[in-house]
Chain A
Amino acid sequence: MSNVSQEAPITGAAGGRGIIARVAALLIPLAFALFAFADLSSATESKVVPVAAPTDGKTVEIAISNFTFTPNELTIAPGTTVKWVNHDDIPHLVAEKALEFKSQALDTNDSFSFTFTKPGDVEYFCVLHPHMTGKISVKAGGA
């Protein structure tokens, strides 16, 4: 089990490549291009640029260590992949709180990746140790 890396299928409620995601995928780079252009032409516009968040296509890691998800709360842009890596000597099983998505049992050093395409808050927990919880906010533009 130690080398299993699970890649979640890009399906299901939280992973669906819906029309919003497709439109966002097209618009977000365009928006950044416009901001970049604005930055060049007028320095005063720069404050409008949102605080940098992981952008489309990135992978962000959440460590599972000492029965805790770190970072415990995370804000990402749509299209970001989150990778949970278990560093404990005990298995954990990551799942959305209504089991919209779930990993297999993750033994030591196993990981589970899931790509979030739909904006919204996702609460997740460990199915084995339900007192372990975490939250991911998926926001367009990473605002």
Chain B
Amino acid sequence: MTNKNWKNGGPEMDRRGALECMVWAGTGMLWALSGGIPSSTFIGEVKAAEMAKGAFTFLQISDSHVGFDKPANPNALGTLQEAIAKINAMPVKPSFMIHTGDITHLSTDKQFDDAAQVIGSTGLPVFYVPGEHDVIDEGLGKSYLVRYGKASPGSGWYSFDLNGVHFIGLVNVMNLKAGGLGNLGEEQLTWLENDVKDLSASTPIVIFAHVPLWTVYPEWGWGTEDGARALSLVKRFGSVTVLNGHIHQIMQKVEGNVSFHTARSTAFPQPEPGKAPSPGPMTVPPGDLRKFLGITEVNFIKVNQPLAIIDKTLVDA
């Protein structure tokens, strides 16, 4: 549905004949990594439920833009509440959630508080990285860091280990330079190099950040200036999954052992690259909005360590 925008990775995957990205009836997609070889298949709800049993699962939510009230979605807090209600209704609870940024629309205390209250109703641990909308307070990021970055170095990056998987939250929305894209910066890259250097190459790596670490569409600023340098630091690992937000639509590609995935927003869709005069909010018929919003579920199956990414819209069960 939204996966026509393959950049770079497409032809290579055709050649390998091993991977084709498929979207399952607008509901979900299984994306598995086994022994570093990516593969994907259609899934149904039943299979997804089976897989979730005994699997290590986490959820990605993104771009909730709490406070946004323009025509594309007059109530972004309301659609976040709907997304969270779906999570609360899941029969198998995920272990935790990550939020890949743009929690708020304008970095105000009220918007941060509203978001925290709604997201907190899951009772799940939540790991945040900021989006550019979260760092536009007077102190250019101080409000975010006081809430979510106290224990982190620099502008709030960190890593943690769970179930044998090494998770890395990167920040690429601070200290942006005129004319540039998203930016990680030297200090963060040095930290990343040290963070992964003692890990075994068989450790599954999950990197999450707001702006895509790969170049999706530089004309709209959809990419990270020094993202390739970060990816080169994890090249030796057998399984790397990169989860991003920012572009309010699903895009995926695979390069070697690295799979890239961007999540839907819970607030409003944005146009496909180059298909509108600007990347601003896309207004769709009111009845269709929830087909463009959603959450992402990621499963790790212990048997052969595949990784499954399942996107669900707000109209899916």
Contacts and interface: CB of A to CB of B under 8 A. Distances in A.
B176 A91 contact: no
A129 B277 CA distance: 15
B106 interface: yes
A89 interface: yes
Contacts of B179: 125, 130-131, 133
Given A89-B72, A133-B179, A128 B132 contact: yes
Interface in A117-135: 123-125, 127-133
29 contacts: A89-B72, A89-B280, A89-B281, A90-B281, A91-B105, A91-B106, A91-B133, A91-B136, A93-B136, A97-B178, A104-B136, A105-B106, A105-B107, A105-B136, A105-B137, A107-B106, A124-B178, A127-B136, A128-B133, A128-B176, A130-B176, A130-B177, A130-B179, A131-B181, A131-B218, A131-B221, A132-B221, A133-B178, A133-B179
B278 A66 contact: yes
A88 B177 CA distance: 21
Interface string A40-61: 0000000000000000000000
Most chain B beta-carbon contacts within 10 A, residue among A66, A68, A97, A131: A131
A137 interface: no
Contacts of A105: 106-107, 136-137
B23 to A, nearest CB: 27
Contacts of A104: 136, 138
Interface string B270-290: 000000011111000000000
B133 A88 contact: no
Interface string A65-80: 0111000000000000
Interface in B160-205: 176-181
A1 B219 CA distance: 29
A64 B220 CA distance: 15
B140 interface: yes
Contact of A88 (B137, B138, B280): B280
B229 interface: no
Contacts of B44: none
Interface residues of A, number: 24
A123 B280 contact: no
A90 B72 CA distance: 11
B71 interface: yes
Nearest to A128: B132
A108 B70 contact: yes
Contacts of B178: 97, 123-125, 130, 133
Contacts of B105: 91
Contacts of A125: 178-179
B112 to A, nearest CB: 14
A62 to B, nearest CB: 16
Contact of A90 (B137, B218, B280): B280
B196 to A, nearest CB: 28
Interface centre among A68, A88, A105, A123 (most CB of B within 10 A): A105
A32 B279 CA distance: 46
A131 B105 CA distance: 19
Given A66-B278, A89-B72, A89-B281, A129 B106 contact: no
Contacts of A88: 278, 280
Given A1-B106, A91-B105, A91-B106, A127 B140 contact: yes
Nearest to A95: B178
Contacts of A97: 177-178
Interface string A8-39: 00000000000000000000000000000000
A87 to B, nearest CB: 10
Given A104-B136, A124-B178, 7 more contacts: A67-B220, A88-B280, A127-B136, A127-B176, A129-B221, A130-B180, A131-B220
A133 B220 CA distance: 12
B138 to A, nearest CB: 7
Contact of B280 (A67, A93, A128, A131): A67
B278 A67 contact: yes
Nearest to B219: A131
